[in-house]
Structure 1
């Protein structure tokens, strides 16, 4: 029988269980752990307890293997441990890491070797718990943890800059990324990822506890720069953006803050400018209908948002299934050039096309020309017929006195609701003589215009008299169906950029470049075409500011006629069509200079419509437009 009995853990022979675990006998336990350079990893040969050389035995070394050698007579138990410090085990571990592509760096591999050896050592000696291993044995891990702590402190100190009192979410993310980059220069070891997450949490907590910026967007899309705060009114926000805008009459320019409410954007600023403008206090103004409450507890109307508009194909399918008018015919009716709106007159004038002239009995032998597009037909009506039509037009739903329209008037707004303030302005700045086509709009009268872009465009309208009606007017000529008069009307679509630059457009895609290039009847290019609501301003070459259509200038003729304005602006994702909200379009007096100021900001049912940040001449029309057909002409009202 050999002096020592040998077996591997945990296969303990049954006949030795009682000897090993009896309490009345002492047992000497010797742990053998170290480093072996041999392939068998056996370190017991030097102790002289082996019957044969280990190389003669069939044994495959494996980390964690525990071999027992027990001497019953001497009551000695040897425990032989195979660890990663043994050359054969370390080589096997290295081959596995290379195969799995997890080798990484030599220092990290050496650290894992030491960790696994230390765990085996602690298990063998039973002098400490495994969770305390890093403090007892692993000096490298302790050093790396100290590096991580130093990097964490430096990175958070860089983020928590006392000079930055508050900042936006974008700046916050940038500072966090910079702090993490600094931390990664120090971080090593197993706690790198843990401390990185801790750093991000610390930065997020610091930002939300006093350094977070408000960032509520303005109507122009600019965030509030104040610290995060609770406000009662939206006007308490501030984006620090300041723009240059012009008053209603166009004479005075002033600085305006970035608006947060429609009331401030379209009404309060222009009221403030009117109090500081000498001309605004003297001009004749057209009053727009607004909400007038009859009770103290009036409120904003609540209504469901209208259904989104159908696509062209869906509209065609709807027409075919329900026998409705085709979308094409409806669109042509809505956007047609003719406009007839004469209230309380005895003679009605309307812009008509050549086809409509044929329908009312014009002789087919009359040669057609482009002038027929600008031709007006005078149709004389008796007073009783005219009064009956006027009464029919005047019948409309009385506006509510308990609920007001929270947004702006558009074609989908519920009937009978009025806004609390007007978003449009229509003023007469003087007689027609204040404008000279030779000099254009002078700086003392209309300030801020770019050189060469301060001219109005002539629009020749031919008025043909039928029946026996006649009135004296210069430049008349006789045609087969009656007398024709030429009305010269000057019109202009004015754009204004945030820097206060103003300019006129000569067409829907071209800026006016001086009065010498204006031809006869150039105004028809802007009268009969949709004009873009936004257009790039030529004041900058690299990145143009977005200019907005803000005013329509009209110089009425001396003839006894009234020019009628019925502007409609289409904009927004749902393509709202905004109007002035008047039951009857206003009529401009003869021989006068009128200026229609459009809203600074538009608001639909879903909220304000933010203007584009960048725009080009090719895609400008896609962001909104002033629809063609806003002009009409009616004969001046006659006294009984």
Structure 2
């Protein structure tokens, strides 16, 4: 703000000349060089090439010079239409973008910044039109820019809409001796507008001066006709924004001149101009005596000197008229003759003090426009006028935003997932993009996203927790029991268990009961608790082998390190043997196992005893015969099992050694004697498909030559395995003795269909008499697929995949001991899974044993889902070696 202290005594009447318009693109040019050359002081007005001035000229602002000699104030409006200001502004925006690294934000902010710059420029131009007598509009070419018509209309509309606010502002300034005309009209006079064009110097020749004069006259005619046709100037001059001279030229063509003067030359020019002004002031105060004699040190061409003289004569004719007589009837004239009925217009000079008070007052009023409620509506109209494309974009976006939201709402389910929400949102944005246009598009798209997201989160958002089978929870957003709040506004979130609304049918550990189950979200529920609950439904309980689990000695037990410290192969694990005693108890199919039924051999373990799972269910009348196994493990390398850290997940080949899970995902149980199995009838349990419940016979000759060679001794002929000799026709060698074992891999599909496979992806074949046509050798020697297609299909025709869930083996009486060694690769990228008891399971004779595999295979961090690609499914295997045997005598 300009300091007005002590100026009240200066009552000299002044003429105000304002310079607005555009600058040339040459060498960061600024239009202020015209005033600098006029005043013979090159540094009066900033030219933009000085680096120390750039930071202060990034925003629209004024600079003015008070010419006391000629009683004139020159006001220069700096704006983004000046090339150097625009370049500085763009550099500042680029620097901000580099810091923010957000190109999208920069594009959006540039449109808003450009609109603000235009609005600010219009407000400052209005001040020039209100407080100036002469307005010079500079243009960097010789063509009239028709955009000025729109510019004039916007200024006139803004003047009309802000008239009352300007009147109140001037009245509140309390300026002494202020005329009523200024207060009523809100301006000093109807300003004259002069148009100054630039002509390229390289094309300006001495013989073309006459042509340039003719061009100026033609431009005057053109401008007059355009302004008249657009009703910018009319016969009623009092209501016009400006006027043009009736009998004086108002177009000047300036041969463009590019200032290239160094600092030293600028200082010399300033000193020379000061001396010249002093001499002229002492000799003559008449304005006509102000003649311009450029210095030879300026380096300007003769053309430039002539232009400066011509421009001075052109401008000072209007200044002289303003200071002496003013213009009282500059209305529109027809055919260059003054209209008789043209009313007399208001014209008034003002003092320096009065002008500064008015200038500072109006400048402050528009600078604080956000606090003035009266200016709110005019400024909104201004923004819509300066950006018609933005106004159209705003209208179209506002129209189609509700339609895009309605497009999103069509056919919405009661609850849906984030993926479905994003798909619907993408379609809505695509619909909105079809009709919306312009700079407002991105802002309204963001509103569309916010509204649709708000709609989704308002009681339509699904929990989206993923089950262990890969299905999302279908409940609304909720917390599971025992879970603490995970946000500030979550008290309203209900508490309930996850539910994917998908059910499966699964058989119990022993396969005697087929029960429906929910889609599991917890590993313990998937592989342990469900089977525990189903086991309680059995009237007669099978005999279970206890797998080792974690038995912590402290309440602060924690999950162990998920990374394996030392790599080891599942085939070379710690040698652990089991010794268990199974009691005689009433079993399924009226079977009572003998008292010497065991699983494995001896089992001991140093210092720490870790008990496996135990089902202490007692039958009435058998309380004395219901003793269950107790396991103790021994590590020969004295490596103890941790009692403070447990294994999170299931045991696999990459699990850290010494850690056990908190529960077993595997189950091994005995359901009866070997004689309870009928080869012609198969397994009599629910869920089996027709004729697919038969086990595959596996004939084993324990006295084969290869096996005999390992033993180093041939048995004698005529001696049976009990030691009794044979003779006559009944005499035969021991090589003819075979032991038959019945084995099978049972698959189970989600619908509860069960079937037995005799080889990879081949179900067992049964003859008409119930005899099995397959042999168990291929089953023993092959990697069995973990997943195989079931005969059932979905309604869509998609195949249903069955999972290997049980390995069944009927052990006979004989010289062999059957062995189970399960190893599963549930995914091409997964490790090998096996039970927590890593050694081979040595089964007792004369029994039906069922090994139940895990329903879900879970690593240290996430479950391994069934792959979608069939090629990857073929790589999910139960490794060979599941069924094997050993010689009891070895």
Q: Normalising TM by the smaller chain, what interval?
A: 0.5 to 0.7
Task: State the 1:414 CA deviation.
Answer: 4.0
List runs of 5+ in structure 1 lacking aligned partners.
1-6, 61-66, 81-127, 311-329, 345-385
Q: Secondary structure at the match of 1:590?
A: coil
Q: Distance in 1 between matches of 2:566 and 2:466?
A: 25
Distance 1:52 1:139, change over 3 A: closer
1:554 partnered with 2:806: no
Task: State the 1:305 CA deviation.
Answer: 0.8
Task: State the 1:472 CA deviation.
Answer: 5.2
Q: Distance in 1 between matches of 2:756 and 2:793?
A: 17
Task: State the 1:457 CA deviation.
Answer: 1.2
Q: Secondary structure at the match of 2:525?
A: helix
1:496 partnered with 2:748: yes
Confirm or deny: 8 A CA contact 1:152 1:195 kept in the other structure. Answer: yes
1:317 equivalent in structure 2: none
Task: State the 1:625 CA deviation.
Answer: 2.4
1:435 equivalent in structure 2: 677
Q: Secondary structure at the match of 2:746?
A: strand
Confirm or deny: 8 A CA contact 2:565 2:656 kept in the other structure. Answer: no
**1:419 counterpart (648, 652, 661):** 661
1:456 partnered with 2:663: no
1:582 equivalent in structure 2: 837
**2:418 counterpart (169, 186, 192):** 169
Task: State the 1:162 CA deviation.
Answer: 11
1:596 partnered with 2:596: no
Confirm or deny: 8 A CA contact 1:455 1:515 kept in the other structure. Answer: no
Distance 1:302 1:636, change over 3 A: same
Q: Distance in 1 between matches of 2:390 and 2:558?
A: 67
Task: State the 1:137 CA deviation.
Answer: 7.7
Q: Secondary structure at the match of 1:596?
A: strand
Distance 1:334 1:189, change over 3 A: same
Q: Distance in 1 between matches of 2:435 and 2:132?
A: 57
Q: Please list, as runs of the form range in 1=range in 2, the aligned pairs for 1:139-178 lying within 5 A after superposition.
A: 142=391, 144-157=393-406, 159=408, 166-178=415-427
Q: Distance in 2 between matches of 1:624 and 1:635?
A: 30
Q: Secondary structure at the match of 1:577?
A: coil
Cα shift readout 1:176-234 (whole Å, capped 9, x = no counterpart): 12332443455344422321122223333454565432212221122222233343558
1:407 equivalent in structure 2: 649
1:29 partnered with 2:191: yes
1:505 partnered with 2:757: yes
**1:527 counterpart (771, 780, 789):** 780
Q: Distance in 2 between matches of 1:253 and 1:489?
A: 26
Q: Which moved more, 1:546-555 or 1:424-433?
A: 424-433
1:300 partnered with 2:558: yes
1:277 partnered with 2:277: no
Q: Distance in 2 between matches of 1:398 and 1:52?
A: 109
Q: Distance in 1 between matches of 2:804 and 2:701?
A: 28
List runs of 5+ in structure 2 lacking aligned partners.
1-18, 22-30, 41-66, 75-130, 134-187, 196-216, 229-243, 257-310, 333-376, 484-495, 581-599, 607-631, 709-713
Cα shift readout 1:275-329 (whole Å, capped 9, x = no counterpart): 2234xx332322223333444x15134224126979xxxxxxxxxxxxxxxxxxx
1:471 partnered with 2:721: yes
Confirm or deny: 8 A CA contact 2:760 2:784 kept in the other structure. Answer: yes
Task: State the 1:554 CA deviation.
Answer: 0.9
Q: Distance in 2 between matches of 1:388 and 1:167?
A: 57
Q: Distance in 2 between matches of 1:624 and 1:416?
A: 26
2:546 equivalent in structure 1: 287
1:447 partnered with 2:686: yes
1:44 partnered with 2:224: yes
Confirm or deny: 8 A CA contact 2:682 2:695 kept in the other structure. Answer: yes
Q: Distance in 2 between matches of 1:447 and 1:342?
A: 33
Confirm or deny: 8 A CA contact 1:30 1:79 kept in the other structure. Answer: no
Confirm or deny: 8 A CA contact 2:758 2:775 kept in the other structure. Answer: yes
Q: Please list, as runs of the form range in 1=range in 2, the aligned pairs for 1:77-92 lying within 5 A after superposition.
A: none
Task: State the 1:19 CA deviation.
Answer: 6.3
Q: Distance in 2 between matches of 1:543 and 1:24?
A: 84
1:88 equivalent in structure 2: none
Q: Distance in 2 between matches of 1:432 and 1:388?
A: 24
Confirm or deny: 8 A CA contact 1:28 1:75 kept in the other structure. Answer: no
Q: Secondary structure at the match of 1:527?
A: helix
Confirm or deny: 8 A CA contact 2:688 2:755 kept in the other structure. Answer: yes
Task: State the 1:249 CA deviation.
Answer: 1.6
| TM-score (norm. length: structure 1) | 0.64
Q: Secondary structure at the match of 1:409?
A: coil
Q: Distance in 2 between matches of 1:387 and 1:447?
A: 34
Q: Secondary structure at the match of 2:517?
A: strand
2:500 equivalent in structure 1: 239
Distance 1:615 1:51, change over 3 A: closer
**2:470 counterpart (214, 221, 242):** 221
Q: Distance in 1 between matches of 2:732 and 2:605?
A: 36
Task: State the 1:599 CA deviation.
Answer: 1.0
Confirm or deny: 8 A CA contact 2:766 2:773 kept in the other structure. Answer: no
| TM-score (norm. length: structure 2) | 0.48
Distance 1:231 1:52, change over 3 A: closer
Cα shift readout 1:54-74 (whole Å, capped 9, x = no counterpart): 9x99999xxxxxx99864446
Q: Please list, as runs of the form range in 1=range in 2, the aligned pairs for 1:232-271 lying within 5 A after superposition.
A: 236-271=497-532
Q: Secondary structure at the match of 2:793?
A: coil
Q: Distance in 2 between matches of 1:24 and 1:411?
A: 90
Confirm or deny: 8 A CA contact 1:567 1:579 kept in the other structure. Answer: yes
Q: Distance in 2 between matches of 1:51 and 1:247?
A: 110
Q: Secondary structure at the match of 1:564?
A: strand
Confirm or deny: 8 A CA contact 2:679 2:771 kept in the other structure. Answer: no
Task: State the 1:416 CA deviation.
Answer: 4.1
Relative contact order (C-alpha < 8 Å, sep 6+): which is higher? 1
Q: Distance in 2 between matches of 1:150 and 1:391?
A: 79
Q: Which moved more, 1:256-265 or 1:462-471?
A: 462-471
Confirm or deny: 8 A CA contact 2:817 2:886 kept in the other structure. Answer: yes
Cα shift readout 1:444-503 (whole Å, capped 9, x = no counterpart): x22222334322211110021745685259999955xx5442011111111111121222
**Aligned residues between the structures:** 500
Confirm or deny: 8 A CA contact 2:827 2:864 kept in the other structure. Answer: yes
Confirm or deny: 8 A CA contact 1:569 1:577 kept in the other structure. Answer: yes
